[in-house]
Amino acid sequence: MNRTLAKIFKPKVVKFVLNSWPPFWGAGIKILSISHDFREVKMKLKLRWWNKNANRTQYGGSIFSLTDPIYSLMLMGILGEKYFVWDKEASINFIKPGNSDLFAEFCVSQNQLHDIIEQTSNGSKSFPEFVIYVKDREGEVVSEVRRRLYVRKKPQYREAA
């Protein structure tokens, strides 16, 4: 993230921009809330006629998109302009069909954040992994998504070895 973007990278702005972003809007994805410190995000995937699959349930690509790029954006908001943050890899396990609107909650714990900061202080890379459980209206798990990120402090902010 560059310095200019860092100045406007606030939860309300990110929520507005992503809720207006065509890939999210078109897929029926909506950010319900972002905490003031970027530590928690709640999202919804609306079941619409155009994002149903051949079985008339939630399209798997939309479920996967629901989780992308949330953790990267959260860490960018938490860590700020001193770090590179990228999605590195992801996988999804479809557990049952999504027959309703779906929901996902994202959380970055203090322990996870501490580990990332500690691992990257001297310029080393960190590859934190996050698991998201996408749930239906009844709270039953529809899919489990694993996302691994790449986090590294930018050279000008690294501590001397």
Q: Which contacts qualify for 81-84: CB closer than 8 Å, 24 or more apart? A: 81/1, 81/2, 81/3, 81/5, 81/6, 81/154, 82/153, 82/154, 82/157, 83/1, 83/120, 83/151, 83/152, 83/153, 83/154, 83/157, 84/150, 84/151, 84/152, 84/153, 84/154
Provide the residue ranges of all domains of the chain, joining segments of one domain with +.
Answer: 3-81+101-157
Residue pLDDT, tens place only, 41-100: 999 999 998 888 899 999 999 999 999 999 999 999 999 999 999 999 999 999 999 999
The pTM assigned to this predicted structure is 0.91
pLDDT of 6 strictly over 80: no
Rounded Cα–Cα distance for residues 153 and 58 (Å):
38
d(CA 76, CA 2): 11
Q: What pLDDT digit, counting tens, does each position of 94-110 carry?
A: 999 999 999 999 999 99
Where does residue 123 fall: left (phi above 0), alpha (psi -120 to 50 degrees), or beta otherwise? left
For 99, residues 6+ apart whose C-beta sits below 8 A from its C-beta are 47, 57, 58, 136
CATH topology of domain 3-81+101-157: Thiol Ester Dehydrase; Chain A (3.10.129)
